[in-house]
Structure 1
């Protein structure tokens, strides 16, 4: 289960993604003049330290992009080139945001989901037992 804080983020996730995604070499011919958030899903970090979230964005030409990010409370050693930005989180303080494909916690979470048939996690607010409706459902194949 992912614990979600009612917080202000600066920059916002959307602003961060809109600035970073168009500059990536994997974007190729995708029209990123507009990027609209469609949804997102999360996996758990077994140690509860790293936020693991994949954003689903719609580009101006209608393509859906999956953009995985990790959020950390401290820099990830040796991952300077994967650092996207730092973000001020009004509850947790400064967060380091990484291209999750370069983060071992993300890679492990995705591999575990694929190999075990695992799924994205439920979202719960930290200050209550209220669940946030999950609308993007992902499940690994188990093989």
Structure 2
């Protein structure tokens, strides 16, 4: 499914739509070139789940945990990983226990498409806006669109 995102409000609406369907154990895998809106969409999802305040890009910390939301979330940015095996060193599985994962640059972590709870979103620039190509894993089939 392809979704046009002509402006920030459309990106925020997509975040609300995802948050309303998000469950613990899910993965939102965000891919796309630099500047396509991965972190913006992650912020919109977190805000829709009830997070108030700043959502820093986890580019340098790699993992940020958000407890106390309607669904606990781990936001990870795997851009700086040089090899997928580094995910084990980060203890990602421990962070994911009972939480949903928002993964930026999922390919750097070996990908998550094989997980039934994965909603893959490929973002790209289209003119002044963006476009999202959404692929729903098995567990998302009844929840998406």
Q: Same fold judged by TM-score > 0.5?
A: no
The structure with more helix, counted as a fraction of residues: 2
- TM-score, length-scaled by structure 2: 0.26
Larger RCO (CA within 8 A; separation ≥ 6)? 2
Rg bigger for which structure? Answer: 1
- TM-score, length-scaled by structure 1: 0.26
The structure with more strand, counted as a fraction of residues: 1
